[in-house]
Structure 1
Amino acid sequence: MLFPPLLCAGLTGLPTMCVGKCTRILGPCLIALGMLSIAANVLLLFPSWTWSYLKEGHITKQAMQVPGVWGGGIIVTLAPAGTSCWIKPWDCFGYFLSDFLCTCMFLSIVLSGLALLGSSACFILSGVGLTNGPLCLYNQTEVPQWDYPFSLSLRAQNYLYDQSLWNSVCIEPRNVVAWNIYFFSVLLVISVVEMVLASLQIINGFFGCLCGLCEGK
């Protein structure tokens, strides 16, 4: 199905949006953020740079679910793939607006929508991990045990605002509280930026379907 040139012409009263240029900015940004998300989640699996806790299964549940790898990472880095075929300059009023171009744009919208869902899932799971606190060996009973001492069911106050609890409650892994706070916070910030950029990419794709890439306009 070919879009008539008048469809794009009817939108010329709106501010010109260079869809191609926007795509070349958003794509690399999403890829970079996705890689940073993967790195942050991988580091969560090795508190204090120690791999033995992962081997023993003593890693916070939300970190083991690796939302930063599949949600804020792999899915987000796939979003720019739908724009890889936008190579040839397309004229907004020309005769190059074809099914092929619109298929690429539609693919971009779909992949960006998945990136939005993935980054949202990363945001939610990272928020839960930050709220509940880390899995650690703590000594609030006669026998030290592995549990979540800062979870809603056990904590008496919000540990995020009381740094005196960070090293006094958890025995192992060393500095695990600060480790989890830092990297879950990084995942939260990254996922928020990813959600914004993915939303912009979706809007960008819709404008691309209507007006083409508007290169040189």
Structure 2
Amino acid sequence: MCSLGFARSLGFALIPLATCCIVANVLLFIPDGQVTYVQDDHLTKYVWYFMGIGGGGVAMLIPVTVFLGMGKCVDSCGTESCVMCGSVIAALVGIAGSGYCFLISAVALLKGPYCFTALGWISPFENDGPQYLFAQKRWSDCIQPKHIVEWNVTLLSILLGLSTLEFIICFLQFISGLVSAVCRPCCYKQEYSLNA
């Protein structure tokens, strides 16, 4: 039963992380606090992959629901090992969602923002890789939206951090659920044979 308590605590830990991922992704749509950039299609294409909303946010609802509902399911289903198998599948969904969020956020961070420069609307750092992150003097190449580089770097870094935590939490439950699902039936058989 302690594995159920552990899973429930992991489920509670995922709730604020998923919420923050959704908020960070939504904020990427309103640089400089204006929605006109969305209306004029002046955002980086990676924002439209909904890495924080879908991968780090909505996809986490599956593991959250399963992890928090495991105790009730054991009461109605009867066997903890079957419930643990379900938690392993839910953890895999969480691992996939957090992995997606991490990968897209990392690519978006490496490619840099889409902004208005002296050459028009372009992604001025797209071919620079991570070097532009350390060349802050070049950030002023982006005229509009104001402070778009700082905005993107901050929010994408937050998404990277949150998705890493989500990945760790789901991976912990994956291991815990796998061990419980595989080992508990063996332990019960061993106890039964000793009692017999």
Paired residues of 2:7 and 2:67 also in contact (CA < 8 A): yes
Aligned to 1:197: 169
Structure having the higher Rg = 1
Q: Does 1:160 align with 2:140?
A: no
Higher helix share goes to which structure? Answer: 2
Query: 1:158 is paired with a residue of what secondary structure?
Result: helix
The TM-score with structure 2 as length reference comes to: 0.85
Shift of 1:67: 0.6
Gaps of 5+ in 1: 1-16, 91-95, 213-217
Shift of 1:204: 1.8
Matched, 1:112 2:91: yes
CA RMSD of aligned residues (A): 2.4
| Partner SS state of residue 171, structure 1 | coil
Q: Which residue among 94, 117, 126 is the counterpart of 1:151?
A: 126
Q: Which residue of 2 aligns with 1:38?
A: 22
1:70 deviates by: 0.5
Q: Which residue of 2 aligns with 1:130?
A: 109
How many residue pairs end up in the alignment? 184
Cα shift readout 1:102-126 (whole Å, capped 9, x = no counterpart): 4432222111101101111111110
CA contact under 8 A between 2:110 and 2:130: conserved in structure 1?
no
Instruction: State the alpha-carbon separation in 2 of the partners of residues 115 and 86 from structure 1.
Output: 16
Secondary structure (helix, strand or coil) at the match of 2:57 reads helix
CA contact (8 A) 1:33 1:190 kept: yes
C-alpha distance in 2 between matches for 1:157 and 1:71: 23
8 Å contact kept, 1:81–1:108? no
In the TM superposition, what is the alpha-carbon distance from 1:156 to its structure 2 partner? 9.1
Distance 1:74 1:156 in 2: 30
Separation (CA, whole Å) in 2 of partners of 1:99 and 1:21: 16
Instruction: Output the CA distance in 1 between the equivalents of 2:45 and 2:73.
Output: 48
* Alignment match, 1:93: none
Structure 2 gap ranges (5+): 186-196
Runs of 4+ with >3 A deviation: 96-103
SS at structure 2 position matched to 1:172: coil
